[in-house]
Amino acid sequence: MTTIRLDPRTTLLLLVVSNVVMFTAGLSGAGLIARLVFMAIPVILAALAGRWPVALGYVVISAAMFGVEQLCLTGSLGPLTVIIAGASSLIARVLPAAMMGYVALTTITVSALMASLERLHLPQPVVIPLAVILRFLPTAFEEDRAIAQAMQVRGLTVRSVGPLAWFEYRTIPLVIATVNSGEELAQAALTRALGAPGHPARLAMVGFTWLDAVILALAAGGIVMWVWR
């Protein structure tokens, strides 16, 4: 399946900007338009990356929470209405930022990230931790999924063993697995001479394309509306 991906620098910039805009934009007027823009960008990127099921689920949940928020704000604000509006508004603001994080984790490769950040002349103490985090998080999610499947096969549910035992069975193997994964990543980094002096050649092809220009222009329009609020 052919996918289209942004330059890693564009994705990281959108991740930062979307967090700022979504948590500071208003509930109406230009701020509302800015929120809608940054709610739409993750859908576009996920669809272009071929993540259609995730994009569809995000659209459904975001639209529902946004609709509940606006419906509560248009009615009388009683205590229960305020609680529902606050909860739905929080979810509607968190989801786009979380979706951008998902897009970043699933579309940016370590080599492309390091190549793009090195073009920005960032120091190695900044580039290397970001590359390790990008590689470590998907590994931790895979370990957690494997532990959950193993517990399900063995019938270890909250109902059968109790919440405290279930939490113990879930977290202790995950901690051990993540520690082992961290050690393996460190050994792999040493083997590849990560952090050695000089600038090694990168095989990843990175650079801004027409898609980066279109997405950045769309984000710039959202930022204008956010500032205009």
What's the rounded Cα separation, in Å, for the pair 190 and 185? 9
pLDDT cut 90: percent of the chain above it: 15
pLDDT in tens, 5-30: 788 889 989 999 998 998 888 777 88
- Domain ranges in the chain? 8-109+208-228, 111-191
Residue 56 is predicted with a pLDDT of 92
Q: Do residues 27 and 89 lie in contact, with contact meaning Cβ atoms separated by under 8 Å?
A: yes
Give tens-digit pLDDT for 101-115: 888 888 888 778 877
Work out the average pLDDT over 156-183.
Answer: 82
- 1 falls in which pLDDT band (50, 70, 90)? very low
The tokens describing 175, both together, are 């901690």
DSSP string, 197-224: SS-----------HHHHHHHHHHHHHHH
pLDDT at residue 41 tops 70: yes
- What's the whole-number average pLDDT of the chain? 82
Mean pLDDT of 126-148: 79
pLDDT tier for residue 57 given thresholds of 50, 70 and 90: very high
Question: Taking a C-beta distance cutoff of 8 angstroms, is the pair 33, 81 a contact?
Answer: no
Q: Which range among 83-87, 88-92, 113-117 shows the weakest confidence by mean pLDDT?
A: 113-117
Both tokens of residue 208?
């801004």
Residue 60 has pLDDT above 50, yes or no: yes
**pLDDT reading at 58 higher than 90:** yes
pTM of the model: 0.76
